[in-house]
Chains A and B, each alone.
Chain A
Amino acid sequence: MLFNSFSFLLFFPIVTLLYYILPHKYRWAILLFASCFFYMYFIPAFILVLLFTIVLDYWVGLQMEKAPGKKRQILILSLIANIGILFIFKYFNFFNTNLAVVAERIGWNYPIENLRIILPIGLSFHTFQAMSYTIEVYRGNQKAERHFGIYALYVMYYPQLVAGPIERPQNILHQFHTKISPTYVNIVEGLKRMLWGMFKKMVIADGIANMVNPVFGNPESYLGISCVVAAILFAFQIYCDFSGYSDIALGASRVMGITLMENFNTPYFSRSVSEFWSRWHISLSTWFKDYVYIPLGGNRTSKTKLYRNLIVIFLISGLWHGASWNFVIWGALHAFYTIFALIIVNNYFNLNKAGDVRKPKLYKAIQIVTTFLLVSFAWIFFRASDLGSALKFISQCSTGYYDYFSGILKAAEHNKGLALLKTIDPLILHRNLTHIWPILFSILILLNFDIVLYRNRGIFTRAFTIKKLPLRWGFYFLLLFYILFFGSFHNSQEFIYFQF
């Protein structure tokens, strides 16, 4: 079920109402049932994959407590099973295809064919969440959950089931055990957040998708400047798509009194790529940091090992997103950015020692813009269907500038106003789209809100608070009707991160 669907508009109030009406001891059951329904709305059979990992990891948790001497072996068993499932569904065909290519090059008749299976929705998310549980139990940070229903709910909790945030058991399991009463603050703050998330997804992300999809689909038909604009707009699309999902997830959960971890903190205001990763998809970044990067040695190691750790972490992160070379390159680019900054910038420009306070605002702005452009360039590999398409898109970015600008100069002699604007329009947006200007204006609303959020250190409730009631309500109505006027309903797109 999509958050931005009429089905969810019915599903959410019914589930929330039942949740609060039922006695505490049955609430896990209604949430679990609702989560199963939510998941099975896509492809019902895939719930069996989830069921397998739930049963296994529940058993693993209990066994690790029962037999502490064997918990390492039990953990390894759990990790093999979880990663194995992920490998079969997500990575087998990728590795198999590449092996077949290598085999062909060396003249070996490679016999194994690709599997004909569909990737279960959100598999990477719930597998990582399940692994987080077994690792934390292994480390002794979390007691094994005795209640099977609550453990199943930990993996399946519908707001974050298919696209995160990837929760830690310490943060969420105890909340399922705690009796929660409905409070004004929780419900109102949750609803506000859902409204903001819907705005980001339905107006900005889906609106931009309609603009940039044709360009990414067929870059040869567009001028270089169109490709550059499409790449920049895609950076906003993916941010609004994913953070919009997270906002709705956090909001829906907050309405039920359950707090999920923050997943975004104004990432496009980052002043370096490493800072970007502490603000973007925080639940995944911290997952990799806690369970891969630090066990590898983290920062407290030699420079060579530090660079190795960074490369490993970003390559895994790339592969986590998709089993394809363009995702590997995307990860590698981020590794390159980070290591380059560590080696060159820090050594030669001595940035870290200067201290933030003394830096002029313009300097900070340049850092923010540079980081945004670097990240946007990397997104091209993320958005493209394969590596070849990404390279084709990038090469197309450098073409047609003379034609474009000379065209504008010629047009300026004869046209004025809207007619001239249409010749300047680099995406030839006016051709098929009705809501271009409202969507572009909504990006300004987003940026404005993110500036407020940035100043409030990412604390959503503070950023979204307007003290005077008429103004506050005016803003709610503005958002609501903006969504109704300009949001995508009929041609709504799936959330991009569902595929992972």
Chain B
Amino acid sequence: MKVFAVKLSVFLLITYFMGFVLEQLYQNKLPETICNKYDWVFSKKNEKYDVGFLGSSRVLNMLDADTIEKTSKYSAINLGFSGTSLQEQYLILKKLYGNGCKFQKIYLQLDLFTLITPTLAYSYPFHEYEFLSDLSDNDVEEVMRQFKPTYRYFLWKYLPFAKYAEFNTRYSFTRVLSGHCYNSDEATIIHKGFEKPAVRVSSERTDIFRTLHSKRLDTIVYNCDSVTASYADKIIDLAKKNGSLVTVYTAPLYKDVKSRYSNHKIFTNRIKNICEKFNCGYYNYGEDEMCNDSSFFNDGTHLNAKGTSYLSLKLAETLFNKL
């Protein structure tokens, strides 16, 4: 057994060393390849923007940064990421500030979906694989522990290469070697982070109808999640500390969808309280007349191209007197 113990130790030592070397290789090589919006946003170093729009898919697909720039002449970037919780949005913003990026103003999209328990709102609320190189950051650790089992966090942190092995389809060996992306998300990157709403085959009305009849919307009454809501405070606080003004807005929600949530006003009040606390401006497009017109919507919670253009113009108007 002594022989076994010695051989096993040597084997593990070599494995550890090889893992360590590979991890260094990955960490150096991966940022060189931009494959998706996260890569693109995190590649920004020491850049200055007049305005950044932060949020989930209700920013990603609903805020055209090009339109904002053309209308207002202010430089804009869409920082919306599909299915991201406020916790993740906080980490994204922190990383950007850490990279030396400056924003005169941050527009933060808050609504009912962003303030409830993230696992109810999004199928995968924290994209941990986008933060694997930041595991030593305390905030990343805190969010990781909220969403992932602790042992996995430690495994990724202390076992070399484990984190890249687990997500090897995303961080493939071929990507590291060739610097080539398998599925580059160029469309989003070209439009300054804005992903155009999908063109639906079925009619818009059918989609809205489908959304309204989905079980999730019909039966669940949501409550505000205090931990998640505290990240709205953290985001605003972080932005202010980095010299950015913060404006909060609520994106439009189709009227019939909103009426399903009997307590939606509680969330509006909560958002107003946050804004008062930090002295931020607040635009509630959830009460806008466009919410009554299904021709602006792709589904109950997302705008179509027409709606996106309309909202982008409206938000651009608010920029003129505020910057």
A486 within 8 A of B: yes
Q: B323 to nearest A CB, angstroms?
A: 42
Q: A6-B155, A476-B11, A489-B165 are in contact. Are A434 and B174 (CB under 8 A)?
A: yes
Question: Are B151 and A10 in contact, with the CB atoms below 8 A?
Answer: yes
Question: Are B15 and A480 in contact, with the CB atoms below 8 A?
Answer: yes
Q: A182-B1, A184-B4 are in contact. Are A435 and B11 (CB under 8 A)?
A: no
Q: Which residue of A lies closest to B183 (CB)?
A: A432
User: Which of chain B's residues have a CB closer than 8 A to the CB of A484?
Assistant: 161, 165, 168
Q: A182 to nearest B CB, angstroms?
A: 6
Could you tell me the distance between the alpha carbons of A448 and B73 in the complex, rounded to whole angstroms? 64
The B contact surface, by secondary structure, is: helix
Could you tell me the distance between the alpha carbons of A486 and B174 in the complex, rounded to whole angstroms? 10
B278 within 8 A of A: no
A61 within 8 A of B: no
Question: Are A473 and B11 in contact, with the CB atoms below 8 A?
Answer: yes
CB < 8 Å: which of B3, B14, B165, B183 contacts A477? B14
Q: Which residue of A lies closest to B181 (CB)?
A: A434
Question: Are A485 and B15 in contact, with the CB atoms below 8 A?
Answer: no
Question: Are B168 and A188 in contact, with the CB atoms below 8 A?
Answer: no
Number of interface residues, chain B, beta carbon within 8 A: 24
Q: A432-B183, A477-B15, A477-B18 are in contact. Are A490 and B4 (CB under 8 A)?
A: no
Could you tell me the distance between the alpha carbons of A435 and B175 in the complex, rounded to whole angstroms? 11
B237 within 8 A of A: no
Could you tell me the distance between the alpha carbons of A490 and B156 in the complex, rounded to whole angstroms? 13
A169 within 8 A of B: no
A373 within 8 A of B: no
Q: A10-B151, A473-B11, A484-B161 are in contact. Are A188 and B4 (CB under 8 A)?
A: yes
Q: Which positions 1-42 of chain B face chain A at CB distance < 8 Å? A: 1, 3-4, 11, 14-15, 18
Interface string of A17-40 (1 = CB under 8 A from B): 000000000000000000000000
Number of interface residues, chain A, beta carbon within 8 A: 23
Could you tell me the distance between the alpha carbons of A184 and B4 in the complex, rounded to whole angstroms? 6
Q: B122 to nearest A CB, angstroms?
A: 17
Question: Are B14 and A489 in contact, with the CB atoms below 8 A?
Answer: no
Could you tell me the distance between the alpha carbons of A481 and B11 in the complex, rounded to whole angstroms? 13
Question: Are B18 and A481 in contact, with the CB atoms below 8 A?
Answer: yes
Question: Are B168 and A184 in contact, with the CB atoms below 8 A?
Answer: no
Could you tell me the distance between the alpha carbons of A185 and B190 in the complex, rounded to whole angstroms? 59
User: Which of chain B's residues have a CB closer than 8 A to the CB of A481?
Assistant: 18
User: Which of chain A's residues have a CB closer than 8 A to the CB of B168?
Assistant: 435, 484-487, 489
Q: Which positions 151-205 of chain B face chain A at CB distance < 8 Å? A: 151-152, 155, 161, 165-170, 172-175, 182-183
The A contact surface, by secondary structure, is: helix
Could you tell me the distance between the alpha carbons of A347 and B50 in the complex, rounded to whole angstroms? 87
Could you tell me the distance between the alpha carbons of A485 and B22 in the complex, rounded to whole angstroms? 11
CB < 8 Å: which of A182, A432, A434, A485 contacts B165? A485
CB < 8 Å: which of B3, B15, B151, B172 contacts A434? B172
User: Which of chain B's residues have a CB closer than 8 A to the CB of A6?
Assistant: 151-152, 155
Q: A348 to nearest B CB, angstroms?
A: 52
Question: Are A490 and B166 in contact, with the CB atoms below 8 A?
Answer: yes
Q: A477-B18, A480-B15, A484-B165 are in contact. Are A435 and B172 (CB under 8 A)?
A: yes
User: Which of chain B's residues have a CB closer than 8 A to the CB of A480?
Assistant: 15
Could you tell me the distance between the alpha carbons of A34 and B235 in the complex, rounded to whole angstroms? 45
Could you tell me the distance between the alpha carbons of A462 and B319 in the complex, rounded to whole angstroms? 75
Could you tell me the distance between the alpha carbons of A370 and B302 in the complex, rounded to whole angstroms? 54
Could you tell me the distance between the alpha carbons of A183 and B2 in the complex, rounded to whole angstroms? 10
Interface string of A418-460 (1 = CB under 8 A from B): 0000000000000010110000000000000000000000000
Could you tell me the distance between the alpha carbons of A489 and B164 in the complex, rounded to whole angstroms? 10
Q: A182-B1, A487-B168, A489-B166 are in contact. Are A434 and B182 (CB under 8 A)?
A: yes
User: Which of chain A's residues have a CB closer than 8 A to the CB of B15?
Assistant: 477, 480
Q: B124 to nearest A CB, angstroms?
A: 11
Q: Which positions 356-392 of chain A face chain B at CB distance < 8 Å? A: none
Q: Which residue of B lies closest to A191 (CB)?
A: B8
**Residue of A183, A489, A491 with most chain B CB atoms under a 10 A cut-off:** A489
User: Which of chain A's residues have a CB closer than 8 A to the CB of B3?
Assistant: 184
Could you tell me the distance between the alpha carbons of A88 and B22 in the complex, rounded to whole angstroms? 52
User: Which of chain A's residues have a CB closer than 8 A to the CB of B151?
Assistant: 6, 10
User: Which of chain B's residues have a CB closer than 8 A to the CB of A10?
Assistant: 151
Question: Are B1 and A184 in contact, with the CB atoms below 8 A?
Answer: yes
Interface string of A163-201 (1 = CB under 8 A from B): 000000000000000000011100110000000000000
Question: Are B11 and A489 in contact, with the CB atoms below 8 A?
Answer: no
User: Which of chain B's residues have a CB closer than 8 A to the CB of A184?
Assistant: 1, 3-4
Could you tell me the distance between the alpha carbons of A124 and B185 in the complex, rounded to whole angstroms? 46
Q: B11 to nearest A CB, angstroms?
A: 7
Question: Are A489 and B167 in contact, with the CB atoms below 8 A?
Answer: yes
Could you tell me the distance between the alpha carbons of A183 and B129 in the complex, rounded to whole angstroms? 40
Q: Which positions 481-498 of chain A face chain B at CB distance < 8 Å? A: 481, 484-491
Q: Which residue of A lies closest to B14 (CB)?
A: A477
Q: B2 to nearest A CB, angstroms?
A: 9
User: Which of chain B's residues have a CB closer than 8 A to the CB of A486?
Assistant: 168, 173
User: Which of chain B's residues have a CB closer than 8 A to the CB of A183?
Assistant: 1
Q: A434 to nearest B CB, angstroms?
A: 5
User: Which of chain B's residues have a CB closer than 8 A to the CB of A477?
Assistant: 14-15, 18
User: Which of chain A's residues have a CB closer than 8 A to the CB of B155?
Assistant: 6
Interface string of B207-218 (1 = CB under 8 A from A): 000000000000
User: Which of chain A's residues have a CB closer than 8 A to the CB of B161?
Assistant: 484
Could you tell me the distance between the alpha carbons of A182 and B5 in the complex, rounded to whole angstroms? 12
User: Which of chain A's residues have a CB closer than 8 A to the CB of B4?
Assistant: 184, 187-188
Question: Are B173 and A491 in contact, with the CB atoms below 8 A?
Answer: no
Nearest 4 A/B pairs, CB to CB? A484-B165, A489-B166, A485-B173, A434-B172
- If A435-B169, A489-B165, A489-B168 are given as contacts, then 11 extra A-B residue pairs at C-beta distance below 8 Å, sorted by A number, are A6-B155, A10-B151, A184-B4, A434-B169, A434-B172, A477-B18, A480-B15, A487-B165, A487-B168, A489-B166, A490-B170
A-B contact pairs, 22 of them (CB 8 A): A6-B152, A183-B1, A184-B3, A188-B4, A432-B183, A434-B172, A434-B174, A434-B182, A435-B168, A435-B172, A481-B18, A484-B161, A484-B168, A485-B165, A485-B168, A487-B165, A487-B168, A489-B167, A489-B168, A490-B166, A490-B169, A491-B169
